[in-house]
Structure 1
Amino acid sequence: MVADLIDQVKTREGGGVTKDGLFSIKSAYKLLSKLEEEGQSARASSSRSRPWESIPDAVWNRVWSIQTLPKIKAFLWRVCNEAIASGVGLRHRNVNIDPICVRCGVHKETRDHILLGCSFARSVWFGSSLQFSPSDNPSLIDWIRSWEVWFRQDKRLAREALSKAAFICWYLWRARNELSLKGIIWTSSEVLQLAEKAYLEFSALIKDSDKGGLGIIFRDHTGRCLKARSIPHILGSIIQGELLAIRHALNLAIDLGVDNLLVQSDCKDAILFMEEKKSPDWEVEGLVANVVRLKSSFVSISFSFVSKAMNNVSDALARKALSLEYLTDWPNSIRWFQELCDSEVSGCTHPLPQ
């Protein structure tokens, strides 16, 4: 050890040598102290680098937006952050264990191997309704990023599929722990049955939830946004939500002094009810009658059906309401709102040309 330190001193320019060109214990000590400080600084800099810092925000946003149990979201966050007790993870924490997968006995047990790469995990994914086949060298981070393509194609189907995938990941981890800690072997069929059962129970819970949101946007005849509003609301059904949004829009239009109004909705039944071309069910009969009465408050009012693709702004405002406690009016300066408005041809409700 002493020899190593002396070698370090000698390799530095002027190491341990005074201005007179003479070696001294004091000058060598100063240099060694400096070397130690530099080493500590380098280690501190390295320790500040965290795994999550290299992961794109899109991945974290996707993880926290998955429709699943909070504990599974937290688990996926830990997985992405390499904070689970995998064989490789434990070895990195100086735990003296064999990092080889206890299931296949061939590859090192990493997060990607447990959830995607192991032959057992592959059989589970292939046997699921998703029929997913991981690549030769799968990466959980890349896999989560790839879901953006699915969401651009069909948000509803992608949301359901990702929810199922989250439950499968959770039960793959449970199966791994049962084998590693208790020696209990789960078959791929058992993993799928448990994951599917948990997913269906969760979906039923979400479906029965009465929390909803209303989204309303007013534009003038030039397309300029006059008002954008998100309203959290207890809803009994989808049609009730559509009618409540229309009633709120009409009351708001009255408050704003609007006389001529075109109301657009992506719900055909709601439009037919407003035009009195279809009789509503008894559950919403009173609500429809209330909205119809409001029509007399306008000089001119008409109703029009638009596709969901043409109704992105009000749909986004309704989704925002799910995370709110109070009615919220959004300023035009918000970036996500500006981008939505620019991409949509027409809004939910706007005055007719004067």
Structure 2
Amino acid sequence: MIRDLTDEEARRALVLKWGMTEPGVIPAWVAEMDYAPADVVTDALLEAVRSGRTSYPAYEFGGELGRAYADWAARQFGHTVDPGHVLPVVDVTAGMRFALDVLCEDAPVVMPVPAYSPQLEVAEVTGRKRVDLVVDADADRAGIDLGALAGALADGARTLILTQPHNPWGRVFTRGELEGIRDVVVHHGARVISDEIHAPLVLPGAEHISYLALDGTAEHAVALVAASKAFNTAGLKCAQILTGDDATRDRLLDAPLARNDSWSTLGVVAAIAAYNHGDPWLAALVERLDQQRTLLAQLLATHLPLARMRPLEATYLAWLDLRAYGHDDPASICLSRGRVRLAAGHDYHPGSTGHVRVNIATSPARLTDIVHRMAKSLTA
């Protein structure tokens, strides 16, 4: 069910990832997949366009989208979601900004880093200070330092941005880890915004648990979700913000429309189709990504044996430590010497060196070429 796009198809379809990359360079940077969209999504969009559904979307919690997501969450994660607690937002980062503006105290925001680069500025955009919770670059398995989190909250921070599954670490936090985070947050009277956009892309061997699925989180947390990352529909602009109680829902619903007014009717159509009918396609995708994860490990062991790849438990984004090859900015070296475009590690952790993020959601042949080009560049 997973069809690899040809280079020509990818340049037409992926206008940022491929279209903004010079011909002859393999793009492995932006988090989009080199796969054709699921037929169930494409068919739903074609029918909607033919029916003229290009109007404003409905402004409501719940509705058909809420019911579709609630059914999906129950099937995929065993998570019971009230459909009436599901509100569309334009995308996950905009939803994060919305939640900060409406729900959170005017106080510093804790951001574990490395972090998804566009979200590094979200605290500043809302007039708040960002407090970095730096993950040990030498740790075998990245995690949240609860002592450091407690210290940041004791010093006045009042919001934790939690990305789980994590981009770019590729981590899936365990129930015990999430409960530890919850206990620290509750003790300090803080709030959590949990970015769970990669939840559908948990790979075999791990299990996604929504932060809102934990006891004692409803009053202090929201979760941000979307079908866009798993179904390659980011350009359609429709994520969802989940609340755990009526009071939080009502604060968001009562916010001025200008804070949250830009999601797309076609994005809603695509999300509903993905949630209602996309399970078989998603299962095939996860199987493919599991194969790509295995292939990457084999390629690195053969061609870049000094590279460190922490366990890739979710997403299609591998976080590689290439410091052993002696380059502060290996992404730049790979682009100039090997004609492969990677995401530079310092974009996710300003000031850091020697790391890259590699998108493996492509064909086995392209992934093999990517690693060959990296090896040639870094060992020359």
Pair in the same fold by TM > 0.5: no
TM-score (norm 2): 0.22
Q: Bigger radius of gyration, 1 or 2?
A: 1
Q: Greater relative contact order: 1 or 2 (C-alpha under 8 angstroms, separation 6 or more)? A: 2
Task: Give 1 or 2: higher helix fraction.
Answer: 1
Task: Give 1 or 2: higher strand fraction.
Answer: 2
